[in-house]
Chains A and B, each alone.
Chain A
Amino acid sequence: MIQTKSEVLQGTLDLMVLKTLAAMGPLHGYGIARRIEQLSEDVLRLNQGTIYASLVRLLQKGWISAAWGASENNRKAKFYSITRAGRKQLNAETENWKRISAVIGRVLQLAERM
């Protein structure tokens, strides 16, 4: 059975993965998970395995690509990098996200004042 989380949560994780790859260049699964945890100042402690579902979804849409390579410790690892289509999608999503969060923020402030 597919563990169905809400579309928003799935989408958020996908967006974060995409952003991480855009900022950091090619990374393996462990690296992406670590990076997201660090950026969120360990607020977001994920079950690191869930990152892979996100990676598969992004791969299938052609927004990232994958290749085997060697890690810092010369260990064999699979590296993911963002594609051109991925960057385009990221830009669009970022815009979208900003707009929505701005709206939500305004609405919430408004609610507070009342």
Chain B
Amino acid sequence: MFNWLKVLGSRIHGLLARREIDQDFRQELDAHLEMLTEENIRRGLPPEEARRTARMRLGGSSQLRDTHRELWGLPWLETFFQDIRYGARQLRRNPGFTWVAVITLALGIGANTAIFSLLDAVMLRSLPVRDPSQLVVFTWRARHLPAYTGYSSYSDCFTNISQVNPSGCSFPLPIFDRMQSETKAFSSVTAFAGPASLEVTGNGPPSIAHGEVVSGSFFPTLGVPAAIGRTIDPQDDSPDATPVIVLSHAYWQNAFGGVRSAIGRTVDLNNVPFTIVGVTAPSFARLAPGKSEDFWLPIAMAKRLHPRDRNDIGSWSWVMLGRLKDGVSLGRAQAAANLIFRDEVLHGAKPLSKPQDDPAVALLPAQEGLTGFRWLFSQQLHDLMFAVVLILLIASANVAGLLLARATTRVKEMAVRLAVGAARGRILRQLLTESVMLSAAGGTLGIVLAYWCVDVITELIWHSAGNHFSFAVTPDWRILVFTIAVSFLTGILFGFVPALSSTRLDLNLALKEGASTGGQPRSRRRFRAGSALVIAQVGLSMTVLAGAGLLFRTLRNLRDLNPGFDTRNVLVFGLDPTLAGYKDAQIQNLYRSVRNRIAALPGVLSASYSFPALLTGGLSTTVVQIRRLGREGMPVDIVNTGPGFFHTMRIPLLTGRTFTAVDYGQAAKGDMAAKPSEQPAGSAASKPRAKRSKLAAAPTSVLVNAMFVRKYLRTHNPLGEIISIDRPLEIIGVVADTKYDDLRRSIHPAVYVPVTGGGAYFELRTAGNPAVFIPAVRTAVDHVDSHLPLFDVRSESQNVDALLMQERLVARLGSFFGTLAVVLACVGLYGLLSYEVTRRTREVGLRIALGAQKSDVLKMVTGQGLNLVIIGVAIGIVGALGLTRFLSSLLYGVKPTDPLTFVAVSLILTGAALLACYIPARRATKVDPMVALRYE
């Protein structure tokens, strides 16, 4: 069975002991020859004759020795090394060619490696836990939404809370308790929720940090150790334990300077003292891809921070992970989990679901189920990957063109080798080895380039994304394997056709003619092959460029979009007094004094506050009734606004009036709808923030936007109309439409209600650059209460930038790759025409001698190039028209077949190509007819 292994072993041994074996065999052959000679002498031949016949019967001794040597070695490997040595010599002999080829390939391969590294970090990187394959995430689904009282999700996994066929991965704590104590399918189960925004004091100025609330089994289940100190253990997760937290490595570095003495220190979270007991390993920054946490704290302690938190069966906010016991199948574990889940939601004290809704639990491998922010980048990355594959094809075509041109200068070499009997396959292999060497060099340089690129790209994302993007882009084996595979395939791809054509030679013709001219018919065919390559390059660049153009126009459209208010010179910052223990009534006063102080700052034109702030990604929605018109459950966006909001944001009032102090007093009395929650904007899925309350006597005043009137009231006079969100609201004014959470979402009917408490964002309209007001604003807030941290301090234009982060990223990368594609195609075109001009020197000289003008020659060469470009562009347009529709979900305000983009891109490409044609064409006009003719 293992014969081949035995053979390989003895062959390797033979390779090492070559000299001895050779010597041995020579002796053996000598002995054989002697015996044959003796036999011949016995038969009566004279000694001379006997020796001669013996030699003939044995066979040529040097040939026998060659065969013997091959049998005792690895001829394949040896010729491979020979090829490499020969190839290296060839490449060194043509440094210009080699450098151009290697750099071209490095750009192509580097682009692929860079985008693949991002794809790897976002899509493929495994969870940073011990044995991730054993880890499962619990998900639920049902035919109709269970009757929970609250649902939170923190982007850990795919969540769909619609009325029909909802699904998600947040569960109530009582179900977790039963999963932990009743099933034997898991070696352990953990639950967690977060991040929660917490105010940290006792470590420099007060700040906001993000902590994840986890069960005591969290770290043991994941198998994540502490780098320093210890992690949270089950004893920490009981109501009478000492409150402890574990820091993430990055937070420890940033907030505590990475000093060991941080362990054992006490900090206050929302005014509750917590002891730092450890720091996690740097590799564990997150569980779900793209999320990041500053620290972890036990569930039992979360109650002290948010006394209002409820952990009954109705509060679905905990993500659960289980580690399967050895030998337990996913199916068996799922059946066990399902039993508990159904028992709890169908037959609990207060059933949340009906049997016909068929609520069920499904266990997913954690790697697959914990998607995190992956979806945010998935399509863009795949589209970019596609673009860089096209770039690589262009680069390959380019190098293939170079090789074709070089093949002409090597015609004689090939002809000689073929003439002296080299096998065609052997030469083919040698040429392919050379190509693979080129692409290997390109790949090596490409990796360097890729790491630089990845740094730039992640920098780009970090810069605008704040903490949205925290995927660690680091080298791993997948990237290495990918690059090696890509380099190898590329080498074969671009090397094959030129190698094939090099070895298909008319020997007579090639040997007779000079090396530089080759055979005429042959080089014409080679020009045709070169032309096809240039057409392919132009076509592919056209496709890449068209995609880039569309993405670029999308970015422009979104950036130039009028959001309905003035985004220039507005400073926004968040304040959450509830974290510091303020009650709603106190918050009203606090906000009033903060607003007065900052509005009085020199250079501040006006100030206001709202929850959430516009264009920060935060969104509140609820439903209203308009009883008089018999309309119920009409979905609306809702914004809590402070005094002077519309004036500060410069949202025009269309009719009626804005809020007065009386309206705020009235609203506070009713303690009305839309209570802001403690979660930061964007982290909670859209959940109605309406709070049930008793009816107050007088209706609260609200404003609506024009869309509300258009859609829900039509021709009715909006002023004085009574609508209701759990309680009656009177419309006192109508304001112009604005964008709400982001720029892409269309404008929905919106209701503006007075702020009565909770956290809020302050907005300042400033006279100049808003950034310079930040220190003054901090001091002003400190004067009111020095324990209040400011968070999300940004100008409104920075907020808009952050919203356009993905668009900017793909548009920039797209334009970069588009430019790269065009440059490569132009280099290819230039190379081909230069070669063509050299080949036709005599013809051009003759034409000039016969009276052709410079302009004629210029036209002739440029025309030849332009023909190829036009064909390439035409093919590229057809290809792009077929492909750009896959971009449609990324586009805004531009169709995938936008004619303007296509025309503009074609013109750019043709213009660049003309330039590439012009240089060789000019050279052709400089041909001296005398020199060209004398050359013969």
Residues of A whose CB lies within 8 Å of any CB of B are 1-3, 28-30, 33-34, 47-50, 52-53, 56-57, 59-62, 71, 73, 75-78
Cα–Cα distance between A14 and B904 once the two chains are bound (Å) = 73
Can you list 10 A-B contacts (CB < 8 A)?
A: A3-B67, A49-B29, A49-B64, A52-B25, A52-B28, A60-B6, A60-B7, A61-B6, A73-B38, A77-B31
Determine whether B730 belongs to the interface, using a CB cutoff of 8 Å to chain A.
no
**What CA separation (Å) do A75 and B34 show in the bound complex?**
9
Does A75 contact B35, Cβ atoms closer than 8 Å? yes
Complex contacts, B93 vs chain A, CB 8 Å? none
Q: Which residues of A contact B35 (CB under 8 A)?
A: 28, 30, 71, 75, 77
Tell me how far the C-beta of B422 lies from the nearest C-beta in chain A, rounded to whole angstroms. Answer: 10
Q: B32 touches which one: A29, A53, A57, A59 (CB < 8 A)? A: A29
Q: Which of B34, B39, B75 contacts A2 (CB 8 A)?
A: B75
In the complex, whether B471 has a CB less than 8 A from a CB of chain A is no
Complex Cα–Cα for A33 and B64 (A): 15
Decide if B68 touches A53 in the complex (CB within 8 Å).
yes
A60 and B11 in contact (CB under 8 A), knowing A48-B57, A49-B64, A53-B68?
yes
Verify B11–A76 contact, CB threshold 8 A.
Answer: no
CA–CA, A46 and B61, complex, Å: 15
Q: Is the CB of A61 within 8 A of B29?
A: no
Residues of B within 8 A of A62 (CB): 3, 6
* B440 to A: closest C-beta gap in Å: 27
With A and B bound together, what is the CA distance between A78 and B34 in angstroms?
13
Q: Shortest distance in angstroms between B923's beta carbon and chain A's nearest beta carbon? A: 46
CB distance from B37 to the nearest CB of A (A): 11
Residue picked from B6, B35, B57, B423, most chain A C-beta under 10 Å: B35
Give the CA-CA distance A57 to B72 in the complex, in Å. 9
Of chain A, the residue at the smallest CB distance from B60 is A49
Asked if A76 and B6 make an inter-chain contact with CB atoms under 8 angstroms apart, the answer reads: no
Chain A residues contacting B28 (CB-CB under 8 Å) are: 29, 52, 77-78
Please report the total number of B residues contacting A with Cβ < 8 Å.
31
In the complex where A48-B36, A71-B35 touch, is A61 in contact with B25 (Cβ < 8 A)?
Answer: no
Question: Closest approach, in angstroms, between the C-beta of B78 and any C-beta of chain A?
Answer: 12
- Select which of A47, A53, A59, A76 is within 8 A of B10 by beta carbon: A59
The reply to whether the CB of B22 lies closer than 8 angstroms to some CB of chain A is no
Q: State whether B31 touches A47 (Cβ < 8 A).
A: no
B328 is an interface residue with CB less than 8 A from chain A:
no
Contact bitstring B20-32, A, C-beta under 8 A = 1, else 0? 0000110111011
- Which residue on B lies nearest to A54, using beta carbons? B71
The reply to whether A49 and B59 form a contact with Cβ atoms under 8 Å apart is: yes
Residues of chain B within 8 A (CB-CB) of A71 are 31, 35
Any A CB within 8 A of the CB of B634: no
Report Cα–Cα, A59/B90, bound state, in Å: 40
Q: Take A47-B57, A60-B10, A61-B7 as given contacts and tell me if A76 and B27 are in contact as well, using a CB distance cutoff of 8 Å.
A: yes
Q: Is B58 located at the chain interface by the 8 A CB criterion?
A: yes
In the assembled complex, which residues on chain A have CB atoms less than 8 Å from the CB atom of B7?
60-61
Determine how close the nearest CB of chain B comes to the CB of A79; give it in whole angstroms.
11
Interface of chain A, helix or strand or loop or mixed?
Answer: mixed
**Top 7 closest pairs, chain A to chain B, by CB:** A49-B59, A47-B59, A30-B35, A49-B64, A56-B71, A60-B10, A60-B7
Q: Say yes or no: is B721 at the interface (Cβ < 8 Å to chain A).
A: no
Smallest CB separation, B569 vs chain A (Å): 81
| Shortest Cβ distance from B59 into A: residue | A49
Q: Give chain A residues whose Cβ lies under 8 Å from the Cβ of B75.
A: 2
Q: Nearest chain A CB to B339's CB is how many angstroms away?
A: 59
Q: A47-B59, A48-B58 are in contact. Are A76 and B31 (CB under 8 A)?
A: yes
B678, CB-defined interface residue at 8 Å: no
The distance from the CB of B503 to the nearest CB of chain A, in whole angstroms, is 17
A30–B32 CB distance below 8 A: yes
Given A52-B64, A53-B68, A60-B10 in contact, is the A28-B31 Cβ separation under 8 Å? yes
Q: Name B71's closest neighbour in chain A (CB-CB).
A: A56
Q: Given A2-B70, A53-B68, A76-B27, answer yes or no on A48-B59 (Cβ-Cβ < 8 Å).
A: yes
What residues of B have a CB within 8 angstroms of the CB of A60 in the complex? 6-7, 10-11, 71
A30–B36 CB distance below 8 A:
yes
Question: Restricting to B1-57, which residues have a CB under 8 Å from any CB of A?
Answer: 3, 6-7, 10-11, 24-25, 27-29, 31-32, 34-36, 38-39, 57
Chain A residues contacting B63 (CB-CB under 8 Å) are: 49
* Closest residue on chain A to residue B70 by CB atoms: A2
Residues on A with C-beta less than 8 A from B70 are 1-2
> Complex: how many Å from CA A62 to CA B11?
12
Complex CA–CA separation, A56 to B69 (angstroms): 10
**A50 with B71: CB separation less than 8 A:** no
Residue numbers in A under 8 Å from B60 (CB-CB): 49
CA–CA, A78 to B61, complex, Å?
Answer: 17
Q: Which residues of A contact B34 (CB under 8 A)?
A: 75
User: Once the chains are docked, how many angstroms separate the CA of A61 from the CA of B2?
Assistant: 9
Within 383-440 of B, Cβ neighbours of A (below 8 Å) are at 423
Rounded to whole angstroms, the CA-CA distance of A49 and B523 in the bound complex is: 48
Measured between beta carbons, the chain A residues less than 8 angstroms from B11 are: 60
User: Complex formed: what's the CA distance from A68 to B178 in Å?
Assistant: 80
- Closest CB of chain B to A9's CB: distance in Å? 15
Q: Cα distance A77–B32 when bound, in Å?
A: 8
Residues of chain B within 8 A (CB-CB) of A50 are 59
- Contact B58–A49 (Cβ < 8 Å): yes
- Closest residue of chain A to B21 (Cβ to Cβ) is A56
Complexed CA–CA distance, A56 and B58 (Å): 16
Query: In the complex the two chains form, what is the Cα distance from A3 to B64 in whole Å?
Result: 11
**Residues in B neighbouring A48, C-beta threshold 8 A:** 32, 36, 57-59
- How far apart sit A53 and B379, CA to CA, in the bound complex (Å)? 60
Cα–Cα, bound, A77→B31 (Å): 6
B22 → chain A closest CB, angstroms: 13
CB pair A52–B10 under 8 Å, yes or no, is no
Bound together, the chains give a CA A52 to CA B75 distance in angstroms of 18
A73 to B60, CA, bound (A): 25
Is the Cβ of A30 less than 8 Å from the Cβ of B31? yes
A1–B423 CB distance below 8 A: yes
Which B residues touch A33, using CB under 8 A?
32
Determine the chain B residues whose CB is within 8 A of the CB of A47 once the complex forms.
Answer: 57-59
- A107 to B11 CA separation, bound complex (whole angstroms): 41
Assess whether B68 is in contact with A61, with CB atoms less than 8 Å apart: no
Q: Chain A contacts of B64 at CB under 8 A?
A: 49, 52
Known: A2-B71, A28-B32. 17 other contacts (CB 8 A): A2-B67, A30-B32, A30-B35, A48-B59, A49-B32, A49-B58, A49-B60, A49-B61, A50-B59, A52-B64, A56-B68, A60-B10, A62-B3, A75-B34, A77-B28, A77-B35, A78-B28
